[in-house]
């Protein structure tokens, strides 16, 4: 069984904020397959379903970003999961808007949600998809920035990028991190080839 956990803050006030891009991805995935989140007896909302016979959970913690690790620990203990079967979807202020990076493991990168997961699981060995939220306004307080809403133009850009992230999640469900990374690599090659073709036609 695979688990896809989006990092974010619960409540209507945070729905469209930059810090909630993990929740937004899971909501988009659920909408695509007509799935609905329901509250659990623990600290999260969830969807339990299967994709081409492969079972999975979508998880949205209710602990707020800084305590995301508590939910990961709950899931590991309840379902006897390996960390390698838990995919974390998280925002990244150091990446351009909509830029996607995948890691099999690594440090927290300054993100308190990832920091919490590392602290509570005592491991850095879990896959994550990082999605850029472009902190171009360096003079603005970082906490204010990540809790600010995306603009309409930014949402338009992100909707296109979400399509790829959804495909990555699908590949994670059916084949784990390796299959997801292989698909990601192929997509990057296609994008690079297309960009080179466009440059080749310039006069």
Residue 106 main-chain phi, psi, to 5 deg: 145, 175
Active site residue 19: yes
Q: What is the strand order of the sheet 128-132 is part of? A: 38-39, 44-51, 54-61, 2-6, 86-92, 128-132, 100-103
Rounded Cα distance between 28 and 20, Å, is 12
CB 113 within 8 A of CB 179: no
Rounded Cα distance between 24 and 169, Å, is 13
* Token digits of residue 102: 């995948």
Of 19, 111, 120, 171, which residue is the catalytic one? Answer: 19
Rounded Cα distance between 130 and 110, Å, is 12
CB 60 within 8 A of CB 6: yes
Catalytic residues: 19
């Amino acid at each position: 069984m695979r688990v896809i956990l989006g990092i974010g803050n619960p409540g209507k006030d945070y729905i469209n904020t930059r810090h909630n891009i993990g929740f937004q991805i899971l909501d988009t995935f659920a909408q695509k397959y007509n799935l609905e989140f329901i509250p659990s007896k623990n600290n999260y909302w969830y969807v339990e379903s299967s994709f081409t016979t492969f079972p999975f959970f979508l998880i949205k913690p209710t602990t707020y970003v800084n305590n995301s690790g508590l939910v990961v620990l709950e899931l590991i203990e309840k379902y006897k999961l390996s960390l390698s079967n838990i995919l974390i979807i998280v925002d990244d202020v150091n990446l351009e808007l909509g830029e996607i990076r995948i890691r099999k493991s690594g440090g927290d990168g300054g993100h308190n949600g990832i920091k919490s997961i590392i602290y509570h699981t005592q491991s850095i060995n879990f896959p994550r998809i990082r999605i850029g939220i472009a902190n171009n306004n360096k003079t603005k307080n970082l906490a204010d920035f990540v809790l600010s809403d995306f603009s309409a133009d930014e949402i338009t850009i992100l909707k296109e990028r979400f399509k790829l992230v959804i495909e990555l999640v699908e590949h994670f469900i059916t084949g784990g991190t390796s299959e997801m990374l292989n698909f990601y690599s192929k997509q990057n090659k296609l994008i690079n080839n297309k960009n080179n073709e466009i440059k080749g036609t310039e006069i």
